[in-house]
Every structure is written in C-alpha cells, then in structure tokens.
C-alpha cells in the first residue's frame, strides 16, 4: 500500500491510499477556500455522565447535492471537489464540518471509491482490503494524537440512516472521551472477568459458534453471527477468532480473509428484502457498519469486532426508535435473531 499525504486549500489534511506504489498523487487543491472555522463544544450531561457534542456549525454542511456537484467525486475541468485528483482508489480527508476538532478530537471522511453510483458491496476484494488497510492506518495515527481516547471507524449507508452525501463513504472519529456504548461494554466485560475469570467477548464468540442457529458465516479466522439479544431487525457481529484490541493487531492471514467475508455480508443485506416475483428489487438496504475498538484507558477487556445492522425490518417498513427506545434506551426487536440469521444464510451468493 502507498500512502500519500497532502493538504487541501484550507489546510486540512488529505491522504491517498493506493495499491500501486508508483501512483502519482501530486495534485493541488485550486479552490479559494476560507480557513475552517469549527468550534465544537463538549458538554457533560450531569444526569447521565455522558458527553454531548454541541456542533452548531454543522447546520451549514452540504446536503444532498446533485451528482455533478458531489464533493467526494474526483475533480475534473469545471468541478473542484474535496479530492483534487482526477482519479483515486481510497482517499481520506479531515471533515470540513467536524463534530470533533482540535484538542477535542478529529473527524475524517473515508471515500471508498471514485464511482459515485457504486457502494462498498461493489468493491473487489483487493479494493476492500485497501479500505481495511486505510482504517488500520488511521487507527494507528489517530490513536497517537494527544488526548484521543478511542478511534471509531464506521459507515452510514442510505438516506434512511440520515446520510446527506450519496457517494459511497465512511467516517473516522477520534474521540477525546470514551463513548457511552464503549464505556458500558467495558464495565460489563470487567464484571464478567471478576465473576467468571474469562473474557466476555471470547465467551460471546464461543457461545455463538456453539449455537449454530445464529451463525451467518464462518471462516478460518472470523465468524459472523446474529447476537442472542440483537437490538436491530437484522444485526450481525463479526469477530476475529483471536482476541485483539484493535485493527492494528490483526495478522496478515486475518486481514486477507476479512474482505471476502465482509463483502458477502453486505451483498446478503442487499438481497434480504428482494422477492423473485417482484418486477424490480427494493432500493439498497440502509445500514450502519461500526468497528468497535478498545479505548486507550481501561479497555483491556474489550475486543475488536464489527457490528453491522439495518433499520429496515421488511421491504416496506423501517425500524423507528420510538418512545421506549429513544426515551428510555430500552430496545424492542420485531425480528427474532434466529430468524434473521436463517434469512441471511438463505440469501447467500
């Protein structure tokens, strides 16, 4: 992998990732950009102990632009985007409208492909591996920044999720605090260690592999399964068989196997709600794909794993977070985990 770092016109960092070591990325951002003026604020919710980010400047961010004005497509004559190159494989840049910035962390955008109408599931295994390598590189570099507690790589796909740019992309957040879901998992894992003497995530993986009814895919180094108490209609967790804290600790064999499994899962998600008798398939399945990595402080029991889920519960119905979920954070799932796993096995390639 070749890594080329440059600057955008307003001083933000841009990084190209290429499989070809001879790729030339000597490009200049020609846009007359003003310096970024983002001043997010962290406020502590004294009732819960959770940090809340106030980022009012994000109200002015780009919202569903036409395809010929997409800021994530390559640049060409008459169109200057966030990526000055006329072509690229994977590109990462600092978000111009960040939720976290400066001493309060960092937000980056990861462009998976220059193809505007594609999706992650359309990538080849080689290109998906390049994205994995980019995630790993960003984890290593952002973890080294002063004050960063956790690095979170994720993708939101679909307008139903709230995506405002249709171009296939993900994000990386470098948190200056441990987010609530991570803190909860760390606390439960610590308790599990004291009570059982074992690691929570190793035991969850062993239990899932023993309960074949919830296994979706199993390889030599990774297993994808629906959790016993899944919160979302179709939710799959992907664990490496060897417990590691984050992406930087994966072996070459583990990195080599992951892209094929992940692409197959994404393609199955897109086939979930398609019936052969339908004249045309439903639109691509909206999803969130989230890497959970151990934080710097007190996270030695947390294991790297990916959580992939969709808010769609049928071809025509979405799972909305209503009063009990949004108000009390108490989930109610309309789809049995065992049924979800069976459907995901039925739509295999």
Q: Which residues belong to the active site?
A: 169
Question: CB-based contacts of 310: which residues, under 8 Å, 6+ apart?
Answer: 232, 233, 234, 235, 269, 272, 285, 286, 287, 288
Residue in the block written with tokens 């994205």: 131
> Using CA atoms, how far apart are residues 335 and 16, in angstroms rounded to an integer?
41
215 burial type by CB count under 10 A (0-12 exposed, 13-18 middle, 19+ buried): middle
Vertex 326: Cα angle to 323 and 327 (nearest 5): 65
What is the four-CA torsion angle of 221, 226, 229, 233, rounded to 10 degrees?
150
98 burial type by CB count under 10 A (0-12 exposed, 13-18 middle, 19+ buried): buried
Long-range contacts of 271-279 (CB under 8 A, 24+ apart): 271/347, 272/234, 272/310, 272/312, 272/343, 272/344, 272/347, 273/312, 273/314, 273/315, 274/315, 274/347, 275/315
What is the four-CA torsion angle of 247, 251, 257, 259, rounded to 10 degrees?
30
Structure letter (DSSP) for residue 335: S
In the chain, what are the helix, strand and coil shares in percent, each to the nearest 5? Answer: 30, 25, 45
Whether the Cβ atoms of residue 19 and residue 132 lie closer than 8 Å to each other: no
Neighbouring C-beta atoms of residue 343, cutoff 10 Å:
18
Residue in the block written with tokens 């096995």: 345
CA atoms within 13 A on the CB side of 111: 32
233 burial type by CB count under 10 A (0-12 exposed, 13-18 middle, 19+ buried): buried
């Amino acid at each position: 992998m070749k890594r080329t770092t440059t600057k955008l016109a307003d001083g933000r960092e841009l990084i190209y990732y290429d499989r070809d070591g001879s790729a030339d990325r000597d490009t200049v951002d020609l846009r007359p950009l003003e310096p970024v003026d983002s001043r997010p604020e962290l406020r502590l919710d004294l009732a819960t102990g959770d940090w809340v980010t106030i980022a009012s400047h994000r109200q002015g961010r780009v919202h569903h632009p036409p395809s010929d004005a997409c800021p994530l497509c390559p640049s060409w004559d008459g169109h200057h985007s966030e990526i000055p190159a006329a072509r690229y494989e994977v590109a990462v840049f600092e978000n111009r409208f960040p939720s976290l910035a400066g001493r309060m962390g960092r937000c980056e955008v990861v462009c998976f492909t220059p193809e505007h109408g594609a999706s992650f599931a359309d990538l080849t295994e080689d290109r998906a591996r390049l994205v994995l390598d980019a995630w790993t590189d960003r984890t290593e570099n952002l973890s080294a920044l002063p004050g960063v507690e956790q690095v979170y790589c994720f993708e939101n796909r679909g307008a139903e999720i709230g995506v405002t740019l249709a171009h296939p992309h993900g994000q990386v957040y470098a948190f200056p605090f441990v987010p609530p879901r991570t803190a909860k998992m760390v606390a439960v894992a610590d308790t599990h260690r004291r009570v059982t003497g074992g690691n929570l995530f190793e035991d969850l993986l062993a239990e899932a592999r023993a309960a074949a009814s919830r296994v979706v895919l199993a390889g030599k180094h990774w297993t994808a399964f629906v959790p016993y108490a899944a919160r979302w209609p179709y939710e799959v967790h992907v664990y490496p068989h060897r417990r590691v804290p984050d992406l930087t600790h994966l072996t070459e064999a583990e990195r080599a196997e992951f892209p094929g499994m992940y692409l197959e899962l994404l393609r199955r998600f897109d086939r979930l709600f398609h019936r052969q008798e339908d004249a045309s398939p439903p639109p691509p399945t909206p999803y969130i794909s989230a890497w959970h990595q151990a934080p710097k402080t007190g996270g030695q029991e947390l294991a790297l794993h990916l959580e992939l889920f969709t808010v769609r519960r049928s071809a025509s119905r979405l799972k909305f977070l209503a009063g009990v979920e949004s108000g009390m954070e108490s989930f109610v799932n309309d789809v049995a985990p065992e049924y979800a796993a069976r459907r995901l096995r039925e739509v295999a390639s």
